[in-house]
Amino acid sequence: MKKISQKFLLAGVLLAAIAVLTACGGQTPTESPKPAVEPTDAPEVVQPTEAPAMPELSGDPLRGGQLYDNWINALGVDTPEGDQPLWATQTSNTRTGKDTWRCKECHGWDYKGVDGAYGSGSHKTGFVGVTQAAGADANEILAMLKGSTNPDHDFSTVMDDQALTDLALFLSGYQFDASVFIQDKKAVGGDLASGQAIFEENCTDCHGPEGTAINWNNDANPNYIAFLALDNPLEFTHKARFGQPGVEKMPSLVDVGISDQEYADLLAYAQSLPTSSPVVEGGRLYDNWIKAMGADDMTDNQPLWATQTTNTRTGNDTWRCKECHGWDYKGADGRYGSGSHATGFTGVFAAKDKSADELLAALKGENHDFSSYLGEGQLNALVAFMQQAQDMATYINDDKTVNGDAAKGEVTYKAACASCHGEDGKALDFDDGEGKEYVGTLAADNPWEIFNKIAYGQPAAAMPAGINLGWTWQDILDILAYIQTLPIE
């Protein structure tokens, strides 16, 4: 009952807004008199007596929703110099640069500006919302975005006309009042089974069945689907409606055509998913915890480093678990038993059957104490990772061939990797100077390393972790076998 009456209220407000805007529209000088009717026109078209509307704008309002979120990322353009000019007229929000240009930063995820969630807190600017634009003539909104009411609100210098038109169409026709079913950050009346079906249909291919395959923050504070759904359900809903700026293939649920109630269902389900995923976080920390956590560079070598002389690396590398214990976790008994990475240090594979307490104690041991750099959560994640570490010898042969099916792997590679790495694997070059290093190069040189990256993801990159996509070890090997057929240079 309550919901219905609120909807009626909303509709009433909207109608009132439209009425006001129409009335204003009638007075504006831009409305030109009706043009003479062409004599050749078919006679049956009876023209209404009112002045004709401005030409109907055409464009993509869903793209407009992404532009509202972050037009710089959506368009892939450089951030303009300095802050948006209107920024200086407020002092409460202390962000600078790129953020000050985002529509959402001034007008909010709920489109209500100072009257909504951004009425207080660190995002507060005191600026108005844009809900008045809902139902308004897109031509008027477009003029406004070109500075008709305030020259400091002219975005035509940084975006082309089509982008501004898309924004106007979004504001006019695609705003959404989520306050009906998001209250105190919770989804009111969300149906979990319905939400799960929507999630599985549209999201799991990339985010995994539990929403943990992609971490879009670092591993000091991982952000998975559930994190954002709980932390900022309005932002979550906006992104579910329009997609993520710059991520071409993330769908728009407006496009898919789900009902208002189904957004509540999706949100409720997303909020029920896990907010951490210890094994994959541990895998990325083992790979490179400094990078994974966005920590400062180390100025000294790890204290145990001085007890060996064969590996001549210095600094950050000397702190990586993998540098001392190997990609196959077997230290001196495995791949790092010889070559430039040899240290002679022990592996951790044999310790996988030790208790969590024993492993934690090792991570806090003398000259092997990581507890001043890593939090309890990260140390536990490393333990969880080590306890399920795989015996690489069953998957990868000494001659670097792998026990996988390249034909199967090709299908998965094209679906899950090619969008970023390219069909031939050459879209991203990992080498930071001389030479080239593509996925193909790495698969040929070091299949043990790439096995880890496919399973656990890449530290500090929004690259999916295969095991959280629901892949088996065999699925991972199949991809690896296929990548070994890609060009190495």
Residues 156-175 that bind ligand HEC (CB under 6 A): 167, 171
Structure tokens that stand for 139 in this block: 């031509």
Which residues are CB-contacts of 255 (< 8 A; sequence separation ≥ 6)? 62
Q: Kindly state whether residue 324 participates in binding ligand HEC, applying the rule CB under 6 A.
A: yes
The CB-side HSE value for 150 (13 A sphere, CA atoms) comes to: 7
Size of the site for ligand HEC (CB under 6 A): 86
Q: Which stretch binds ligand HEC (CB under 6 A): 19-27, 180-188, 292-300, 449-457?
A: 449-457
The CA distances from residue 347 to 204, 263, 350, in Å, are: 35, 48, 7
Give which of 317, 122, 284, 315 is closest to 218, Cα–Cα.
284
Q: Show contacts with ligand HEC in window 377-436 (CB under 6 A).
A: 382, 386, 416-417, 419-421, 428, 430
Q: Kindly state whether residue 196 participates in binding ligand HEC, applying the rule CB under 6 A.
A: no
Q: Kindly state whether residue 143 participates in binding ligand HEC, applying the rule CB under 6 A.
A: no
Identify the DSSP state of 88: G
Q: Kindly state whether residue 458 participates in binding ligand HEC, applying the rule CB under 6 A.
A: yes
Out of 63, 207, 284, 335, the residue judged to bind ligand HEC by CB under 6 A: 207
Out of 111, 169, 453, 455, the residue judged to bind ligand HEC by CB under 6 A: 453
Q: Show contacts with ligand HEC in window 8-67 (CB under 6 A).
A: none
DSSP strands (E only) in 184-303 = 186-187
Nearer to ligand HEC, 2 or 249 (CB): 249
**In the complex, minimum distance from the CB of residue 461 to ligand HEC, in angstroms, rounded to a whole number:** 4
Please give the single-letter amino acid code of residue 456. Y
**In the complex, minimum distance from the CB of residue 343 to ligand HEC, in angstroms, rounded to a whole number:** 7
**Residues 411/412/417/422 CA torsion (nearest 10 deg):** -10
Q: Tell me the three state secondary structure of residue 488.
A: coil
Q: Kindly state whether residue 203 participates in binding ligand HEC, applying the rule CB under 6 A.
A: yes
Out of 3, 368, 414, 436, the residue judged to bind ligand HEC by CB under 6 A: 368
| Tally of CB atoms within 10 A around 241 | 21
- x/- mask, ligand HEC, residues 332-351, rule CB under 6 A, reads -------------xx-x-xx
**Contact indicator for 96, 80 with CB cutoff of 8 Å:** no
**Residues 147/153/156/157 CA torsion (nearest 10 deg):** 120
Q: Show contacts with ligand HEC in window 227-246 (CB under 6 A).
A: 228, 236, 239-240, 244
Out of 109, 111, 118, 155, the residue judged to bind ligand HEC by CB under 6 A: 155
Q: How far apart are CA 2 and CA 478, in angstroms?
A: 54
Please give the single-letter amino acid code of residue 439. V
Out of 13, 17, 54, 247, the residue judged to bind ligand HEC by CB under 6 A: 247
Residue 186 β-bridge partners: 183
**In the complex, minimum distance from the CB of residue 151 to ligand HEC, in angstroms, rounded to a whole number:** 9
Give which of 285, 284, 456 is closest to 363, Cα–Cα.
285
- x/- mask, ligand HEC, residues 72-101, rule CB under 6 A, reads ------------x-xx------------xx
